[in-house]
Chain A
Amino acid sequence: MHAARLFFRLIVRPLLREPLRALLTALAAALGVAVVAAIDLAAESSTGSFQSSLETLSGEAVYEISAVGGVPERVHGDLVRLPYPGRFAARLEDYALVGPRRERVPFFGVDLFGDPVAGAAAAAFRENLGERLAEPGVLAGAALGYVEGDTVEITVNDRAHRLRVAGVLSRSAAPTEDQDRFLAMDIAHAQRLLDRLGKIDRIYVYDAPESEAWQRAVRAVLPDGVAFEPAGARSEGNRRMLRAFRLNLRVLSFIAMIVGAFLIYNTIAVSVVRRRTEIGVLRALGASRAAVRAAFLLEGALFGLAGSALGIPLGWVLAEGAVEAMSATVSSLYVTSTPGEIRFSVESVLAAVSCGLGTALLAAWLPAAEASSAAPSAAMGRARIEYDARRRSGAHFLRAVFCVAGGAALCFVPAWNRIPVAGYAAAILLIAGAALATPAAAERILRTAAYVMARLFGAQGFLAARGLAASLARTSALVAALATAAAMTVSIGIMVGSFRDTVILWMNRQLAADLYVRPVGRGGGGFAPTMAPEIADRIQALPEVSAVDRFRSYAITYNGLPAKLAFGQVEVHGRRTATRFLEGPAEEKIWASLAAGDNVIVSEPFSRKHDVHAGDYITLPPAGRQAAFRVAGVYYDYSGEQGFIVGDRSIFLQYLPDPRPSNLAVYLHPGVDVRRARQAVMEAAGEYSIFAATNRTLREQGIAVFDRTFAITYALEAVAIVVAVLGMAGGLLALVIDRRREIGVLRFVGASARQIRKMALVQAGLLGMLANLMGLVLGVGLSLVLIYVINEQSFGWTIQFHWPVGLLLAGLTGIHLSAVLAGLYPARLAAAVDPSEAVHEE
């Protein structure tokens, strides 16, 4: 028989006869593809093109020279005097809040005459530039919308300034929004404005002669602790840091696709079961095995293609929604990010199509192989098919045991390149194990449930359970699909819930001060804004205040990854908080060693990421020197993924003599009214722009950030559940259609339409319950993998296991209700079956 004819007879015609079911399956596939595409696009937009916004004006720079705490200005002079070609552009870098909307934009001090990038952009102003800038004015990026002569209000660090716009700059002929959102100022003016005389942040090197001699000459000029590296290192470091984050999101997005795969599998398996007789006859008439397999694979491909076609535009829409949430996450956990435009490239379309198509073909493989193995003309009754399915369920169960054991073993394999490959594999094995165990477990449970159901719902309850137990071949994939969605809800619920509780506990210990003060200006990319030292002194002098802890943090690069080097006043902090240490001696001993000499503590993520432990020595590059520090302890920290190195202020001021703190922790005398004290603190700051948050506000903000961070995971869960419920509706529909005759017989032997409807609904409910049960078991297993393997290996946080009982109950109830809801229409259909017609059709 001709392959196309075969395909038409076996696949297309039956699909056309049940358009609703075909549509549901395609829709499920589409949602899967959409989620994968959406996460991909959104991640690309919010992190992929991630470039530190401070690199906006770096142009074609080849190298960059920088140091923690700034490079001494004279270094620039030394470099310029080197007898080599190549240009050195000095920069001061900061962030400014601009205009009434307080938009955060990079603020640069540049050499307007010598800078190859800013200078070229300013060419138009070259003529009177000296005059224009004699009075401090700024050049505004074109996208900010100012015109020459405007007054712009900006806040940098703790000071507000009113500046005249001396000109508008555009970086390119066709400026993209991002590139042209910045402020630039003559570097000398900027140094004065920011009170940073004698310091520059970065020197870009252009048109460098790529000779070793030149490199050696440059290095000879640079003091110890000044880094000389290829330009773009910051963006590269950010990208590397974000890799794990993106990977985890991507993996999460695949779960919806896995659920979709189960459903495609189910649809095709049902096709095969139903057309068993027809396949046999066609084989007897000369259709080859390969042709039969191809026909069913093609059915899978059809769903994959339809899913991709629907899913890609849907993914675009979802990406628009996801990108906001994702940037918020990236900003709060990593580095400040401004999402770029969502771009659909040819590659992303191809990726989505191949994901949809590949998954569908993979899902179709098994049923197609089974179809092709049917002996010619061996017309098999349903009972025989189900008998085979039951016989196989034992073997599957054995395989399931192996899968679970393999998964458990993989949990002990360390990460590869900070990617928890084995952890992901373990998760996949667990899911596969659960799917393989489903038929056996479902049968066992349903057989027992039949008697309970008979008690609860009478004959229809019994019949519902028995009917399901007897339809394993066509229902176990449905259960596996919904169970996977439920497991995702459970595992992520447990992981996020545990994480949340862990963070709350940690905050309760760690945040012991009454007020936290920061400058109004905002930083970015690990770059903390600072405030004048006298603010702290004034606050300390207030009668309400008992102590002030001055805290300063610097963005550094450690082993090619961004990290934070910070110091506070151990004599204040150590006595008042109960920091929990993971490694190291008793807390008091650690504080004592910090105050005594060159000791630091590091946060848990830092320790894990760089494999640095208590007792190790690490080399840090504070300005002017390269110095070794002993790690006195490793402490629990959940404030960021980059990792902290923390030391004592009095020690570190020797290396980084800038006395400006970035944050203050203010401890009040007992009994002082916090709100009144906050008012006093804000007033004490006087002309400085600072912000004081109460302990409570800070904690609330912390939790709000946390919740926002995980909002997207909930959205992904919801999609996975929707996908599963769509499949459930389709599967239940198939069940009703296939059992029309039995439904008819039941009507003849006395069942009312209501009883039939109830039976179908009980079946939907039973499927939901089974899925929940399997999902709960699988989900708890997955949550252990998530918490103790994947999370630890990719982020380095210890999460204390907690049962978020309320969340789980709500989630599982929701899934159960959705399953019943999905059964409403099929149940109505079942009740409407015309008994005489159904019984007499053969």
Chain B
Amino acid sequence: MKSGETVLRFSGVSKRYFLADRAVDALRDVSLDIAGGEFVALTGRSGCGKSTFLNLAGAMDFPTSGSVAIDRLRTEKMSAAELDAVRRGRVGFVFQFFQLLPTLSAVENVELPLQLAGDRRPRARALEALELVEANGLAARLPHQLSGGEMQRVAIARALVHSPSVVLADEPIGNLDSESAAVVMRLLRRIADELRTTVVMATHSLESAAVADRIVALRDGRIETVSKGV
């Protein structure tokens, strides 16, 4: 359904953070269209604005200027509640440190986005999502009973469970051994290919970026180059 259409559009986006003594321009005049089912890798060294890009893309924050549209919905005009709704319905996040809630089992972690959106019987869909990441055997385990790679797979299931338009992954393999990393990359690729869900991944590993359809290199908050992946 989303294939081909623009799912994420950044037009002239700048983000400025104000610190006590100075201002930091995390993004400067970034314009980029990302299509449905596309897999985009953001690269650049630490501090270049990758996470900021993902936060804006995920309706976690407003741009200082310019416009961010998710499924054609422009976030800069939205109220906090509308942002919540967009994030809840259309965005899934994956983090470097997995960020599973330590007190909930794997399947309960996956259920979270559905529950927070008001779904009272989220179990079936959560198990489905776990199956998709080949982690249905881990459903009842608590996070501290999982390996890093397993945790990240559960986290990906959590990002997918509510069928978002876009999955935003911030350094998803930054904390994994190469074998687990390969599994995670393969999964993300599959999500884009099979579910036609857009994936935007921040990484500083050029090797993993090569898996993406497009590689956007950021530097000091600006897009330096855009190149094709595989």
List, in ascending order, chain A residues with CB within 8 A of B77's CB.
Answer: none
Provide the bound-state CA to CA distance between A753 and B81, in Å: 8
Name which of B80, B113, B115, B120 has the most chain A CB atoms within 10 A of its CB: B115
Among the stretches B53-61, B177-185, B206-214, the one at the interface with A is: B53-61
Q: Which residue of B lies closest to A744 (CB)?
A: B99
Provide the bound-state CA to CA distance between A462 and B103, in Å: 12
Q: Which residue of A lies closest to B87 (CB)?
A: A750
Provide the bound-state CA to CA distance between A690 and B218, in Å: 101
Give the distance to chain B from A746, nearest Cβ to Cβ, in Å: 7
List, in ascending order, chain A residues with CB within 8 A of B84's CB.
Answer: 750-753
CB pair A459 B55 closer than 8 Å: no
CB pair B113 A750 closer than 8 Å: yes
Kindly identify, within residues 706 to 761 of chain A, every residue whose CB is under 8 Å from any CB belonging to chain B: 741-742, 745-755
Q: Which residue of B lies closest to A840 (CB)?
A: B51
Known contacts A383-B143, A748-B60, A748-B93: does B99 contact A462 (CB below 8 Å)? no
Name which of B93, B108, B118 has the most chain A CB atoms within 10 A of its CB: B93
CB pair B112 A747 closer than 8 Å: no
Known contacts A384-B144, A839-B95: does B101 contact A751 (CB below 8 Å)? no
Kindly identify, within residues 53 to 80 of chain B, every residue whose CB is under 8 Å from any CB belonging to chain A: 55, 58, 60-61, 80
CB pair B144 A746 closer than 8 Å: no
Which listed residue (A383, A458, A459, A742) contacts B144, Cβ 8 A?
A: A383
Q: Which residue of A lies closest to B145 (CB)?
A: A383
Q: Does A697 contact B (CB under 8 A)?
A: no
Provide the bound-state CA to CA distance between A205 and B91, in Å: 98
Interface residues on B, range: 20 to 34
CB pair A454 B120 closer than 8 Å: yes
Kindly identify, within residues 783 to 826 of chain A, every residue whose CB is under 8 Å from any CB belonging to chain B: none
Give the distance to chain A from B199, nearest Cβ to Cβ, in Å: 16
Give the distance to chain A from B61, nearest Cβ to Cβ, in Å: 7
Known contacts A382-B102, A454-B120, A753-B80: does B60 contact A746 (CB below 8 Å)? no
Give the distance to chain B from A745, nearest Cβ to Cβ, in Å: 4
CB pair A467 B120 closer than 8 Å: no
Provide the bound-state CA to CA distance between A808 and B166, in Å: 54
Q: Does A86 contact B (CB under 8 A)?
A: no
CB pair B99 A839 closer than 8 Å: yes
Which listed residue (B108, B144, B158) contacts A381, Cβ 8 A?
A: B144
Q: Which residue of B lies closest to A466 (CB)?
A: B103
CB pair A748 B58 closer than 8 Å: yes
Interface string of A369-406 (1 = CB under 8 A from B): 00000000000011110100000000000000000000
Give the distance to chain B from A490, nearest Cβ to Cβ, in Å: 31
Provide the bound-state CA to CA distance between A469 and B103, in Å: 9
List, in ascending order, chain B residues with CB within 8 A of A386's CB.
Answer: 103
Q: Does A842 contact B (CB under 8 A)?
A: yes
Provide the bound-state CA to CA distance between A840 and B95, in Å: 9
CB pair A842 B97 closer than 8 Å: yes
List, in ascending order, chain A residues with CB within 8 A of B226's CB.
Answer: none
Q: Does B116 contact A (CB under 8 A)?
A: yes
List, in ascending order, chain B residues with CB within 8 A of A460's CB.
Answer: 116
Kindly identify, within residues 104 to 121 of chain B, every residue whose CB is under 8 Å from any CB belonging to chain A: 104, 108, 112-113, 115-118, 120
CB pair B113 A749 closer than 8 Å: yes
Known contacts A459-B116, A750-B88, A750-B116: does B60 contact A835 (CB below 8 Å)? yes
Provide the bound-state CA to CA distance between A839 and B58, in Å: 14
Q: Does A827 contact B (CB under 8 A)?
A: no
CB pair A745 B116 closer than 8 Å: no
Q: Which residue of A lies closest to B142 (CB)?
A: A383
Kindly identify, within residues 828 to 842 of chain A, every residue whose CB is under 8 Å from any CB belonging to chain B: 835-836, 839-840, 842
Q: Does A470 contact B (CB under 8 A)?
A: yes
Name which of B58, B116, B162 has the most chain A CB atoms within 10 A of its CB: B116
Provide the bound-state CA to CA distance between A169 and B106, in Å: 89
Q: Which residue of B lies closest to A458 (CB)?
A: B118
List, in ascending order, chain A residues with CB within 8 A of B117's CB.
Answer: 750
Provide the bound-state CA to CA distance between A384 and B145, in Å: 11
Q: Which residue of A lies closest to B118 (CB)?
A: A458
Known contacts A750-B87, A752-B80: does B103 contact A836 (CB below 8 Å)? no
Provide the bound-state CA to CA distance between A745 and B142, in Å: 17
Give the distance to chain B from A838, nearest Cβ to Cβ, in Å: 10
CB pair A745 B101 closer than 8 Å: yes
List, in ascending order, chain A residues with CB within 8 A of B120's CB.
Answer: 454, 458
Give the distance to chain B from A186, nearest Cβ to Cβ, in Å: 86
Q: Which residue of B lies closest to A469 (CB)?
A: B103
Provide the bound-state CA to CA distance between A749 and B104, in Å: 14
CB pair A381 B60 closer than 8 Å: no
CB pair B60 A749 closer than 8 Å: no
CB pair A462 B115 closer than 8 Å: yes
CB pair B115 A381 closer than 8 Å: no
List, in ascending order, chain A residues with CB within 8 A of B104's CB.
Answer: 466
Give the distance to chain B from A655, nearest Cβ to Cβ, in Å: 79
Give the distance to chain A from B92, nearest Cβ to Cβ, in Å: 8
CB pair A459 B115 closer than 8 Å: yes
Provide the bound-state CA to CA distance between A500 and B115, in Å: 51
Interface string of A458-479 (1 = CB under 8 A from B): 1110110011011100000000
Which listed residue (A459, A470, A741, A835) contacts B112, Cβ 8 A?
A: A459
Q: Which residue of A lies closest to B122 (CB)?
A: A459
List, in ascending order, chain B residues with CB within 8 A of A382's CB.
Answer: 102
Provide the bound-state CA to CA distance between A742 and B118, in Å: 19
List, in ascending order, chain B residues with CB within 8 A of A741's CB.
Answer: 99
CB pair A381 B93 closer than 8 Å: no
CB pair B60 A458 closer than 8 Å: no
CB pair A381 B102 closer than 8 Å: yes
Provide the bound-state CA to CA distance between A525 and B11, in Å: 92
Which listed residue (A459, A471, A749, A754) contacts B93, Cβ 8 A?
A: A749
Which listed residue (B51, B55, B61, B116) contacts A751, Cβ 8 A?
A: B116
List, in ascending order, chain B residues with CB within 8 A of A752's CB.
Answer: 80-81, 84
CB pair B80 A383 closer than 8 Å: no
List, in ascending order, chain B residues with CB within 8 A of A748's CB.
Answer: 58, 60, 87, 93, 95, 99
Provide the bound-state CA to CA distance between A64 and B162, in Å: 93
List, in ascending order, chain B residues with CB within 8 A of A458's CB.
Answer: 115, 118, 120
List, in ascending order, chain B residues with CB within 8 A of A459's CB.
Answer: 112, 115-116, 118
Q: Which residue of A lies closest to B91 (CB)?
A: A750
Which listed residue (A467, A745, A750, A836) contacts B51, Cβ 8 A?
A: A836
Name which of A463, A742, A748, A842 has the most chain B CB atoms within 10 A of its CB: A748
Q: Which residue of A lies closest to B100 (CB)?
A: A745
List, in ascending order, chain A residues with CB within 8 A of B118's CB.
Answer: 458-459
Q: Which residue of B lies closest to A751 (CB)?
A: B116
Interface string of A285-307 (1 = CB under 8 A from B): 00000000000000000000000
List, in ascending order, chain B residues with CB within 8 A of A381's CB.
Answer: 102, 144
CB pair A470 B158 closer than 8 Å: no
Give the distance to chain B from A767, nearest Cβ to Cβ, in Å: 16
Provide the bound-state CA to CA distance between A393 and B103, in Å: 17
Provide the bound-state CA to CA distance between A469 and B81, in Å: 29
Give the distance to chain A from B206, nearest Cβ to Cβ, in Å: 22
Provide the bound-state CA to CA distance between A104 and B159, in Å: 82
Give the distance to chain B from A346, nearest Cβ to Cβ, in Å: 50
Q: Which residue of B lies closest to A745 (CB)?
A: B99
List, in ascending order, chain B residues with CB within 8 A of A471's CB.
Answer: 103
CB pair B51 A749 closer than 8 Å: no
Q: 10 closest A-B pairs (Cβ-Cβ)?
A: A459-B115, A470-B103, A750-B88, A752-B84, A383-B144, A750-B116, A745-B99, A748-B93, A459-B116, A749-B113
* Contact sample, A vs B, 26 pairs, CB 8 Å cutoff: A381-B102, A386-B103, A454-B115, A454-B120, A458-B115, A458-B118, A458-B120, A460-B116, A462-B115, A466-B104, A467-B103, A470-B102, A742-B101, A745-B101, A746-B101, A746-B116, A750-B84, A750-B117, A751-B84, A751-B116, A755-B116, A835-B60, A836-B61, A839-B95, A839-B99, A840-B51
A-side interface residues toward B, CB under 8 Å? 381-384, 386, 454, 458-460, 462-463, 466-467, 469-471, 741-742, 745-755, 835-836, 839-840, 842
Q: Besides A458-B120, A752-B80, A836-B51, 11 other CB < 8 A contacts?
A: A454-B120, A745-B95, A746-B101, A746-B116, A749-B92, A749-B112, A749-B158, A751-B84, A753-B84, A836-B60, A836-B61
